[in-house]
Amino acid sequence: MRLPFEITATDPGSRARRGSFLTAHGRIETPTFMTVGTRATVTGLDPADLREVGAQVLLGNTYHLMLRPGIELFRRVGIHRFMNWSGPVLTDSGGYQIFSMTGDRTMHERGARFRSYVDQRMHLLSPELSIEMQTAIGSDIMMVLDECIDSTSDEATTRAAMERTHRWALRSLAARTSESQALFAIVQGGVVPALREESAAFLTQQPFDGFAIGGLAVGDARAQREDVTALSAELLPRDRPRYLMGVGTPPDLVHAMGCGVDMFDCVLPTLLAWQGTAFTSTGRVKVTRAECGRSDAPLDAACACATCKQFSRSYLHHLFKCGEPLGSRLLSKHNLHHYLALMAEARAAIEAGGYAAWAKEKLAAIDRHEHAGGGRA
């Protein structure tokens, strides 16, 4: 299917764009941040919590869901019914997870052979099996299987992985059987501009419904990541969604939206919440620090989330010091609200024609206190 993607506004001072597209389970307003629910759950939160913070799209992971609960369950019920989520779902193909298991997998043309962390059995994840699994899951947007490598690998290694990603993309396209599920390709090429250009040129000749920028936040520096994001976004078709995979501090998102990227995901909001770190309008706050234990102020006075309206920094500090899981739950809700509110502000700024000025002001408030790596889902 071709997603009916509509651009409703562009920013005169940047390449930021405001749009929307319709999936089988609802409309997605862009730019959007997709909440990561790797194993068909966002850790510590239920669907009502996600609706409360304004989540539009959830992201599940094919690799993890293939291993547990497995394809037969999803053939029976599908992910929406299984996790009681009625909105859109995107599934990653599992390429990054395979990349992460350096000691327990081998890569070859058929696919990736790896040892399961669930039962220690060997499995083969091929482009065809990834699409079969995602079809059973019933996600609204499926991703092709790609070969992810360290983004700073030498050019020969990067080219080989990129070319295999292209071959796998064509196999994924051929394996597709569901017209109601969109399929996105993934542009690779590390931090080599010529390879990024070659990858985009090849993939955009194929009938994919959208295009992702992959292979970043895996060894690259921030400046490299920003350069590759800007170049890659410019190479992608205007009439289809652009998705930056797994990159996700707020400054990363602000920069990438200015380059014309429409979709994002990252595990950082919930991962750091469980470690006691909150994203706020003035940068990161570590609630386990002693000064928070002495503060009766809200976590972020500028935030309208339920955590900030109802609880003080000292209470959150107390929960973490006591090991109470409520602390992580409250921070998770706050962090996701923060990210989703950032997207809503960006959409409004683009509509008003003032994104460039808004982004400059936003970065001045948070960037010097915030950037600590790109993150990965």
Superfamily of domain 6-101+127-262: Queuine tRNA-ribosyltransferase-like (3.20.20.105)
pLDDT at position 238 is: 97
Residues with catalytic function: 92, 265
Amino acid at 369: H
Query: How far is the C-alpha of 342 from the C-alpha of 304, rounded, in Å?
Result: 12
Amino acid at 189: G
Total-model pTM: 0.96
Domain limits of the chain?
6-101+127-262, 273-364
Here the tokens at position 175 are 């394996």
Phi then psi for residue 263, to 5 deg, are: -135, 145
Q: How many Å is the Cα radius of gyration of the chain?
A: 20
Q: Are 184 and 172 within 8 A, CB to CB? A: no
On the 0-12 / 13-18 / 19+ scale of CB atoms within 10 A, 274 is middle
Q: What is the mean pLDDT of each run of 10 residues along the chain (377 residues)?
A: 88 98 97 97 98 98 96 98 98 86 84 90 94 98 96 96 98 96 98 98 98 94 96 98 96 98 97 97 96 98 98 98 98 98 98 98 87 49
Give 215's DSSP letter: S
